[in-house]
Amino acid sequence: MAESWSFLDTFESNFRPLVVIELAKGTKKETIEWFTKRIVDKKANGGAQLLVKPLVTEKGEENIYLVGASHLRLLLGAETVGLVKECNDNSMRTFTYSSRKTFRDFADDNHNFLTMAECQYIIKHELENLRAKDEKMIPGYPQAKLYPGKSIVRRLLTSGILVQIFPLHDREELKKLRHSWYGRVKVGYQPLDEIRCYFGETIALYFGFLEYFTFALVPMAVIGIPYYVFAWEDYDKYVMFATFNLLWSTVILEVWKRICAIVTYRWGTLLMKRQFEEPRPGFHGVLGINPVTGREEPVYSSIKRQIRIYLVSLPFVCLCLYFSLYVMMIYFDLEQWALDYHEENESNFSSLMLFVPSIIYAVVIEIMNRIYRYAAEFLTSWENHRLESSYQNHLILKVLVFNFLNCFASLFYIAFVLFDMKLLRQSLATLLITSQILNQFAESLLPYWLQKRHKKRMKKRMSSLKTDTDLTLVEQINLEKEMGTYFGTFDDYLELFLQFGYVSLFSCVYPLAAVFAVLNNITEIYSDALKMCRVYKRPFAEPTANIGVWQLAFETMSVISVVTNCILIGMSPQVNALFPDSKMDLILTVALVEHLLLAIKFIMAFVIPDKPRDIQIKLAKLEFESLEALKQQQMKLAAESLKE
Amino acid sequence: MAESWSFLDTFESNFRPLVVIELAKGTKKETIEWFTKRIVDKKANGGAQLLVKPLVTEKGEENIYLVGASHLRLLLGAETVGLVKECNDNSMRTFTYSSRKTFRDFADDNHNFLTMAECQYIIKHELENLRAKDEKMIPGYPQAKLYPGKSIVRRLLTSGILVQIFPLHDREELKKLRHSWYGRVKVGYQPLDEIRCYFGETIALYFGFLEYFTFALVPMAVIGIPYYVFAWEDYDKYVMFATFNLLWSTVILEVWKRICAIVTYRWGTLLMKRQFEEPRPGFHGVLGINPVTGREEPVYSSIKRQIRIYLVSLPFVCLCLYFSLYVMMIYFDLEQWALDYHEENESNFSSLMLFVPSIIYAVVIEIMNRIYRYAAEFLTSWENHRLESSYQNHLILKVLVFNFLNCFASLFYIAFVLFDMKLLRQSLATLLITSQILNQFAESLLPYWLQKRHKKRMKKRMSSLKTDTDLTLVEQINLEKEMGTYFGTFDDYLELFLQFGYVSLFSCVYPLAAVFAVLNNITEIYSDALKMCRVYKRPFAEPTANIGVWQLAFETMSVISVVTNCILIGMSPQVNALFPDSKMDLILTVALVEHLLLAIKFIMAFVIPDKPRDIQIKLAKLEFESLEALKQQQMKLAAESLKE
């Protein structure tokens, strides 16, 4: 095969493998030949103009390919994806090849100008944008249809010919990162910029948020401790704590937007233009003309989708919520029954029976969560969203609502139906602490242990016990391709979201929640870091300018917590004692305070600017410059026109 | 003077006056010469390259100048201001001179391609962007300082040399517009496109909103009538009416955004890029470097401004609000006193005395409103905002809050302190109807009558009673320059906003409010149209894509009205009768319903897209095209680079 790539020979000397393509075993020769030809073919011929090398393993199998690119190709790719880099004058600008000399640290021989994560992102983008020309199908697989403009890689993936594409780890870099991230005991911030260089912006922003959120919880935790230590139960102290919490949660969410803007400005993603989004791989429909691009692609009526969403998904979700509530009621019945049984018999067995309902309920909830997750994924996929982002948003919404109910419904029931504050505090503590421990175990430590065992076995099989950095490329790839895939930050954010719920929804009943949250998050940072570095395949970098729908989710939670906290305070015996004559006055006062707090929250969210002033000025400056450039151009043209 | 303009001779033949400049009487010759020279000078020399002609009146005074421009100049100006026009393929695109042939109705000899309002907007923009080069002062006026980049026209205005700049009416067009707008009795929509062509987008959008709002109130009015006719006082019917109103007001505000997008897309302003905003004329500060433009201009510390806003303006506004409430309390005391007096004496005089408090209160409120308005303008101007838009927003906010309190505080007091529903209904009706009648009289009919009298006197003086269209240019300009200036849509929107308050805040108490609002708005359309066409100078067109801060104001009002209506319903005897045993259950139920309604409102506002799907697609298409163009350019470059 290599003969036909002769024009690449000049580059071959410095071939640096960036991305691994794993094809299905036994993929037809002609398919491989056609696919690799398309990857290396010139841009002008509709290729991606990348470099490709087969990985020859001991067994002589040829189903793994390494993709790289020349330095020049990567620079041009950086322009195509719209990368934003820092210039010599400290401003951030969209990189263009023609203006490359104005960028900081650029030199024709500096191959570190683009980070490895950026190079891999560029290659992924180029591969995904490799489109069918006049092919009607994938050569060798007549059932895998193609049409002009269809992404070849996506079709290969959906038809199972392509098993996976993943970026390679850089052992050296990873070791450095691990060291500065969690390798030594130190007090200080995470190396966010290094994380971003290695894992990309989405993941770095998650860790940034996790860290910020932990710091933001510290004041709550500090204020919460004396309540626990001195067992304060005074009405005025509770009110103060709750009021502080509610306003504080608004402040931290607003300030996060500003910090996010600062960080993503430095990373360049704040300025990055949104690329035109392609249909997601699973999207299907009859072939039609896309009204935006004018290209032939599957088209699916928006009305049909709306019908599916509102007439099927929405009722289904409501049914699930109802069912979940029903299960909860059964749990409370069981609990009552166990209590009665224990009181009647007072034996060892009966005191053991007291735990049975909780255990059953926990197991049932976990099962329901998993089934629901599958159902939500199936339904959202069946809704047939054209864009990955809208698919994600609908999925997140579905999962969020259900998880919210599952986690908090029992607490709401205890608080607002049973009016049992002691039980509420107890349940809250149990739920919070067990869920944190379970999460950390299931999410990081268990996979890490499994991974370690697997690696040892692999190494033994290779019968040479080397350290990580001494692995040959073949060994490294064989190790990495078997690692788990990191499916994005969804579950990590969900965990934080539920934690925020535990902390804020009932903050005036259990001030210690913030303390546990802080402690958990400190270890969470390390266990998540471990997970990213040791357990999973390296994920592709994904540029992002904010935490997206999660910002909205956290803000909604903080609004709901105003309501719950006001009711809790209103129900407390201390507050009730203040209004001995009239319950009505009490309720009216509580309602008034609640509305005032909500109004203050909204005004604060409105008044605090989303971007700090200096970022605003920098953005305005860029906009002004582009307007001026346009005007200059027009003036030149005008002067010429008027001369004629 | 005219000798030096020889290069304009070729254009002079088709000079069409568009804009009038009135200088102060006795302006120094050298100033006039310098100013007109700058206006006609070539762009390359820093001039505006427009045409200028003195208007020689009978008395030989030379303080009025007419400004026009060649067709080519206007087209180039259209490109500079970023006008968006319809292309031959029905899409809307930013006009550029080089692509002029692709635009609908473009022909080199078609001078109607740009509407007169657009031409005047372009000239205004060019005049305002006429900037000082190396002049240190305005020639002849050493006290009127200039610095490089300072807008000459703004300095001339602030130093009183320039009295006013206003666009000329087009008698022919105006007559046609008047005829199709309000000249004949007809059922149908207003000619929004024609209004937009003549008065520009801001004013057309106001009339569009007024019309839309009137139509949107019709369902409320229709549902409200039977409540009045049959004197329904049943709890369930009230609840239904209020619920309908609350959800309906959310729907109409959301739908308005969509309609607004449709209309402004057609007008091209939805796509228009925001120009870089210059400092407003009144802005002052020490000379420094603008961090955005890098130009020398007055700079004022943002922190100082914040201090002025939060430490002076905010307390002042709060004080005014408190004072206004205090006056209201005095009014209620007076009212009570008058009532007592009447009951004691029962004479004709005493029944007359019953009206005295209301009259005094109305007069005091009017006086307070006026004083407050001056104070607000002074304070906002003292806050020294750099941008006109931020000045406007702060002024609107101040005036809005005060007017809201003045109009509704007494109603709130009656409803929620006195609990007197009958009095509430009565006051509401009185306030609504009298304010509507007074407004229409003071705003349109009175100025119209004054204007008409003035015109007659003018015509008599000119001793030739001609019809409007036969007026000579001199006479027309002399008439128009004395007409009042239209200060923008602020007062018109404010009136609508307060009306919306009357209709929605207490809608379940006085369902007839919507009927009166509809009736008022129908006449309001005509009286406002009369005002625009007959009473005021033609205003400069102002491109806009939405109704700005008013959307937010209306939305806030609709949120407040959920709260008020829920409380009103909760207080009604019918609802109270449903909960005979426990007031607590009643209040809890009302609070629950209120929260539900608010939640539904927010969800609805979130779910209904702000732009209709086809507009979204059109916008996406434009964005896609510009991305593609960029990519094509980059690919070309890439291909060249790779060949090297």
Q: What is the pLDDT of residues B374-404, one digit of tens each?
A: 999 999 999 989 888 889 889 999 999 999 9
Per-residue pLDDT at A310: 93
| Start-end of H helices in B346-445 | 348-353, 356-382, 388-413, 421-440
Residue B179 has pLDDT above 50, yes or no: yes
B 566-585 → A contacts, CB under 8 A:
583-584
Tell me if A584 and B588 make a contact (CB, 8 A cut-off): no
* pLDDT mean over B333-344: 88
- The CA distance from A245 to A511, in Å, is 10
A624 reaches B (C-beta below 8 A): yes
Residue B212 has pLDDT above 90, yes or no: yes
Show residues of chain A in contact with B42, CB under 8 Å.
642
Q: Residue A164 has which token pair?
A: 């996976």
Contacts of A168 (CB under 8 A, 6+ apart): A17, A18, A19, A20, A66, A120, A476, A477, A480, A538
Q: What are the tens digits of pLDDT across the range B49-105?
A: 898 888 876 666 678 899 999 888 898 888 888 888 988 888 888 888 888 888 888
Q: Which of A44, A273, A641 sits opposite B76 (nearest CB)?
A: A641
A44 reaches B (C-beta below 8 A): yes
Tell me if B624 and A293 make a contact (CB, 8 A cut-off): yes
Q: Residue A268 has which token pair?
A: 């360049």
Q: B465 falls in which pLDDT band (50, 70, 90)? A: very low
Q: Do residues A79 and A97 lie in contact, with contact meaning Cβ atoms separated by under 8 Å? A: yes
Tell me if B97 and A293 make a contact (CB, 8 A cut-off): no
Q: Tell me, what DSSP letter sits at residue B113?
A: S
Beta-bridge partners for B299: B286
Q: What are the tens digits of pLDDT across the range B523-539?
A: 888 888 888 888 888 99
Backbone angles phi, psi at B5, to 5 degrees: -95, 20
* pLDDT mean over A64-70: 90
Q: Do residues B405 and B320 lie in contact, with contact meaning Cβ atoms separated by under 8 Å? A: no
B621 reaches A (C-beta below 8 A): yes
Tell me if A583 and B583 make a contact (CB, 8 A cut-off): yes
Handedness of CA B451, B457, B463, B465 (dihedral sign): positive
Residue B465 DSSP SS3: coil
- The CA distance from A397 to A377, in Å, is 11
Residue B563 has pLDDT above 80, yes or no: yes
Q: A6 falls in which pLDDT band (50, 70, 90)? A: very low
Tell me if A624 and B292 make a contact (CB, 8 A cut-off): yes
Q: Do residues B321 and B407 lie in contact, with contact meaning Cβ atoms separated by under 8 Å? A: no
Q: Do residues A129 and A208 lie in contact, with contact meaning Cβ atoms separated by under 8 Å? A: no
DSSP string, A250-297: HHHHHHHHHHHHHHHHHHTTTTPPPPPPPBPTT---EEEE-TTT--EE
Residue A536 DSSP SS3: strand
Nearest CA in chain A to B291: A617
Q: B211 falls in which pLDDT band (50, 70, 90)? A: very high
First to last CA, chain A: 60
Per-residue pLDDT at B578: 80
- Alpha-carbon distance values, A85 to A102, A268, B293, B627 (Å): 10, 6, 21, 19
- The CA distance from A643 to B14, in Å, is 19
Per-residue pLDDT at B261: 94
Q: What are the tens digits of pLDDT across the range A485-538?
A: 888 888 899 999 999 998 888 877 888 888 989 989 988 888 888 888 888 889
Nearest CA in chain A to B624: A276
Give which of B630, B640, B644 to mutate to test A binding, by max A Cβ within 10 Å.
B630
pLDDT, averaged across chain A: 84
| Start-end of H helices in B182-234 | 192-199, 201-229
Residue A5 has pLDDT above 50, yes or no: no
| pTM exceeding the 0.95 threshold for the entire prediction | no
- Alpha-carbon distance values, A596 to A507, A562, A563, B225 (Å): 19, 10, 11, 35
Could you tell me what percent of chain B has a pLDDT over 90? 25
B303 reaches A (C-beta below 8 A): no
- The CA distance from B340 to B350, in Å, is 10
A587 reaches B (C-beta below 8 A): yes
Q: What are the tens digits of pLDDT across the range A299-317?
A: 888 899 999 999 999 999 9
Residue A318 has pLDDT above 90, yes or no: yes
Q: B296 falls in which pLDDT band (50, 70, 90)? A: confident
**What is the nearest CA distance from A315 to chain B, expressed in angstroms?**
17
Show residues of chain B in contact with A639, CB under 8 Å.
43-44
Q: What are the tens digits of pLDDT across the range B406-455?
A: 888 888 998 888 888 888 888 888 888 888 888 878 777 777 787 778 77
Output Rg (C-alpha) for chain A, integer angstroms: 29
Per-residue pLDDT at A423: 84
Nearest CA in chain B to A640: B44
Q: Do residues B278 and B128 lie in contact, with contact meaning Cβ atoms separated by under 8 Å? A: yes
Q: Which of A293, A587, A641 sits opposite B587 (nearest CB)?
A: A587
Strands (E), B12-131: 19-23, 51-54, 64-68, 84-86, 92-94
A349 reaches B (C-beta below 8 A): no
Show residues of chain B in contact with A631, CB under 8 Å.
80
B637 reaches A (C-beta below 8 A): yes
Tell me if B634 and A44 make a contact (CB, 8 A cut-off): no
Show residues of chain B in contact with A42, CB under 8 Å.
639, 642
- The CA distance from A12 to B192, in Å, is 66
**What is the nearest CA distance from A544 to chain B, expressed in angstroms?**
19
